Structure 1
Amino acid sequence: MRIPDFKLERYFARWEFSAPYLLCSSDIEGWRMKDLLALADPDGQARWDALTLGYTESTGLPALREEIAALYPGLSPDDVLTFAGAQEAVFVLMNVLLGAGDHAVVTWPGYQSLYEVARATGADVTLLPLREEDGWALDLDALRRALTPRTRVVVVNFPHNPTGALPDRATFEALCALCDERGIHLLSDEVYRLLEHDARDTLPPAASVSPRAFSLGVMSKAFGLAGLRVGWLASRDADVLRRCMAYKDYTTICNAAPAEVLALIALRAKARVLERSRALLAANLALLDSFFARHADTFQWVRPRAGSVAFPRLLRDEPVARFAQALVEREGVLLLPGDVYDFPGNHFRLGLGRSNLPDALVRLERFVSDTRGSGG
């Protein structure tokens, strides 16, 4: 398999552990181990205390799959397959569903693996643009036009990375119905689900709506546990899940035992875990509302409806990559230029989920003021 460099990951490899302010991270502030263990119920604590570092079940710890299945109305633990992060789940599913001569449609801008892994299987990929002028909305008519008799998979990501877009329920259910009518699998990347800024906007999981859909989940985003590297696919398509299970024998085989128990503890305490995430996002969004109002001459944004990222646009007559480079060098604040998505328009990804966002905004504001009229 030949696959291009992952531009976003290469960018983060350069800056993630040297820049003090990651104002573009997509995850929620990570939990400290002691704070997570303090949430453990007696069974979870007993599992942690008695843990041995051997191999685990390839499908995932049964108790963990039971907790994951509870996130998907109508699904059982047998409808869940765990992976070492969402990235592995994408890789495995794309290789199971696609091959030379097949076709996939993927929303864009988006996480690069959602389309590059599909291309690497030999499939043709059509990128379906989301447009700022439409509020980053999903255009179902454009999707219909993109479908062909060879289309095997449609890939969407809502809540959306990097824009924070979220369709209404009618649009989402129409998307699921369209894929069902055409006999097309839907991969619904839902790693930011449960981070809706208005809980009334929460969509049902695709796996609960359609028997051909796959809901992608992970502990990294809403739950603030990226270091666990625990992800999953949920689906009622038993045949494809079985094929994914067999393919996984050639990747990680099984998850890390400590990660599974820690994920189980977090999911059993999900109300408290999610409350922390949502409170952090609400506080940071309020600061960003004021920031963008003060700097309407420099930035434009579509306020995100869900998730922990947004995709503002730099209005200055300079490339956003140059702006971001100067910012991180002078102030230690990292933004993610839209170039990493190969997406036009001088956009950049902004992360909403870190506790030091207030300090990062102070530094960004100082940089904006100091460079106003200077071209950076």
Structure 2
Amino acid sequence: MIPQSCKIEQFFGQWESSVTYVACASDVDSYRMRDLLDLADPEALALWEGLELGYTDPAGHPLLREAIAGQYTRTEADHVTVCGGGAVEALFLVTNALLGPGDHAVVVWPAFEGLHRVIPALGAGFTTVRLDADHGWRLDLDAVRAAFRATTRALFVNFPHNPTGALPSRADFEALIALAAEAGVTVVSDEVYRYLEFEPGTTLPAASDLGDHTVSIGVLSKAYALAGLRVGWMATRDKALTRAARGIKDYTTVCASAPSEILALIALRAREQLVARSRRIILDNLVLADAFVRRHPGALAWEPPRATPMGFPKLLLPVPVEDFVRDLALEQGVLLLPDSVFDLDDQRFRIGLGRTVLPEALERLDDHLARRYRS
């Protein structure tokens, strides 16, 4: 069964090509390949220059899997499966491997569509546990516990969080993993924004390092600003889950692109440089966005994000947020993402902090507020 249509992709398909400023992107301005190759060490550069464009190892190039495993403390290369369809494929594989008819999952909400759209297509059901917007987007662990059923097989979480930028404490995250383990539930942890935390020392441990029945999902699209490589991965010490996911992968991408794998290897070995660039862009824009919200207290309010290249402000004006987004796109060429894409109706929109054109987009947003809502 095919999952229902993907709202976010339909939204961008409708609007992205017709605006000047995409001010709601979930990634960072892309890295140029020439600049990336300049960071290659001799071994990786030799692999690139001698690359043959054939099929690759279905599980991923051994050196690439070693580089991915290097981000973790207890997760080894054999626990890693490289996905040529990015994090979306990794989530698809894990969800199909874990759930079937009659099964149940719990999803922390709001959520990226890959964390929940596939579940009903498998004949499974899910319960949402909503982050508390009034208390810094806090996750209620008691609510998670109450959502578990005898048929619950998986808990889907995403921290740092899209679209709110929320980040729990290490103690709360570890308590969440322990709670799932006690209930016999596998934690599927979408960690694509890992390393984009704003405060030093707040990077959470990877879920795959905290238990035998946990999965960490990663990708090069976000912190590394390399979405065009389409390289993601799943990492888990659950051998049965790895076997099942790799078997399903034989019917999706089979293997990753050979050039993408070597470029991914270069990127992971130069992680500090790439992540530092992404953080610099995001933090510069965060200052501007926070000042902008504060200048418009009658129109906007937000809990500033603690991580990720995005925030989730609330529109205080007496106009539906979808109409506001539409008018802004048509009149100013600036695109924001309404919360209806996340199956919410809370008058919120996602704003992206990862693009260097954000200052110009904010100027147009300022003009739009002045022209239409001056009073």
TM tier, shorter chain? over 0.9
Letter in 2 for 1:297: G
Provide the residue aligned with 1:39 in structure 2: 39
Letter in 2 for 1:179: A
Provide the residue aligned with 2:83 in structure 1: 83
Letter in 2 for 1:293: R
Q: CA deviation at 1:64?
A: 0.5
Q: Quick one: distance in 1 between partners of 2:20 and 2:56?
A: 36
Q: Quick one: distance in 2 between partners of 1:155 and 1:293?
A: 33
Tell me the SS of whatever aligns to 1:173.
helix
Provide the residue aligned with 2:288 in structure 1: 287
Q: CA deviation at 1:113?
A: 2.0
Provide the residue aligned with 1:59 in structure 2: 59
Q: CA deviation at 1:290?
A: 1.1
Letter in 2 for 1:253: V
Q: CA deviation at 1:373?
A: 4.7
Provide the residue aligned with 2:333 in structure 1: 332
Provide the residue aligned with 1:189 in structure 2: 190
How far does the alpha carbon of each residue in 1:112-145 deviate from its partner, in whole angstroms, 9 at most, with x for none? 1211111211111111111211211111011111
Q: Structure 2 regions of 5+ residues with no counterpart?
A: none
Q: CA deviation at 1:20?
A: 1.9
Letter in 1 for 2:239: A
Letter in 2 for 1:133: D
Provide the residue aligned with 1:366 in structure 2: 367
2:244 is aligned with 1:230: no
Letter in 2 for 1:151: T
Q: CA deviation at 1:263?
A: 0.6
Letter in 2 for 1:269: A
Provide the residue aligned with 1:299 in structure 2: 300
Provide the residue aligned with 1:255 in structure 2: 256
Q: Quick one: distance in 2 between partners of 1:224 and 1:80?
A: 21
2:182 is aligned with 1:208: no
Tell me the SS of whatever aligns to 1:343.
coil
Tell me the SS of whatever aligns to 1:368.
helix
Q: CA deviation at 1:96?
A: 0.7
Provide the residue aligned with 1:278 in structure 2: 279
Between stretches 140-149 and 365-374, larger displacement belongs to 365-374
Q: Quick one: distance in 1 between partners of 2:280 and 2:2?
A: 42
Q: Quick one: distance in 2 between partners of 1:17 and 1:180?
A: 45
Aligned residues: 374
TM-score of the superposed pair, with normalisation by structure 2:
0.98
Q: CA deviation at 1:199?
A: 2.2
TM-score of the superposed pair, with normalisation by structure 1:
0.98
Q: Quick one: distance in 2 between partners of 1:2 and 1:306?
A: 33
Q: CA deviation at 1:109?
A: 1.0
- Give the percent of matched residue pairs that are identical in Structure 1 and Structure 2: 49
How far does the alpha carbon of each residue in 1:351-374 deviate from its partner, in whole angstroms, 9 at most, with x for none? 111111111111111111111158
Provide the residue aligned with 2:309 in structure 1: 308
